[in-house]
Amino acid sequence: MTAVAEWFAQTLGQYISPEWVVFIISMIPILELRGGLIAASILEIPIVKAIPFCIAGNIVPIPFILLFIKKILKWMQNVKGLRVIANWLEKKAMKKSDALKKGEFWGLALFVGVPLPGTGAWTGSLIAALFDVKLKKAVGAILLGIVIATIIMSILSYGLLDVIMGWFA
């Protein structure tokens, strides 16, 4: 993920400010906030300036996914070349849906928050939409997950783990 975030940072950085690079990276599936914070660290954006851009970029796609993904997937099922992608997205969401079975709100929040491959706000929103989680509950859980991911990735991306461990040494 670091290499991809770095490539985006260098490529987009030629055209727009570093903060907007981070915002855009945070909107991209797979990279999301995690990639945005990595890019912000690479671009040497202070953490207090980077976090709002990362969070805002990660939040932007959520309402669109929650409100429209089922209709989009249904449409994709009827388009020959897109049917494979629609099926893949649905299978991916179903494989990751165990988090919801363990407690809808907290399962979704932890699924979005813990930075593992295939997790995040995009997939969490997809799962919530496919499982018809109430909009208010889904948004709350996803936003909490983003906060959790922000804390974890800030510690990892900015070397704050060394600082924290230094306090206890």
pTM, 2 dp:
0.83
DSSP string, 84-132: HHHHHHHHHHHHTTHHHHT-HHHHHHHHHHS--TT-SHHHHHHHHHHTT
What is the H or E stretch that residue 57 is in?
helix 47-59
Kindly list the domain boundaries of the chain, sorted by start residue: 2-59, 61-153
List, for residues 8-32, the tens digit of each pLDDT value. 888 988 899 999 999 999 999 889 9
List, for residues 60-86, the tens digit of each pLDDT value. 999 999 999 999 999 999 999 999 999
d(CA 32, CA 145): 12
Q: Which residue has the higher pLDDT, 142 or 162?
A: 142
d(CA 50, CA 160): 14
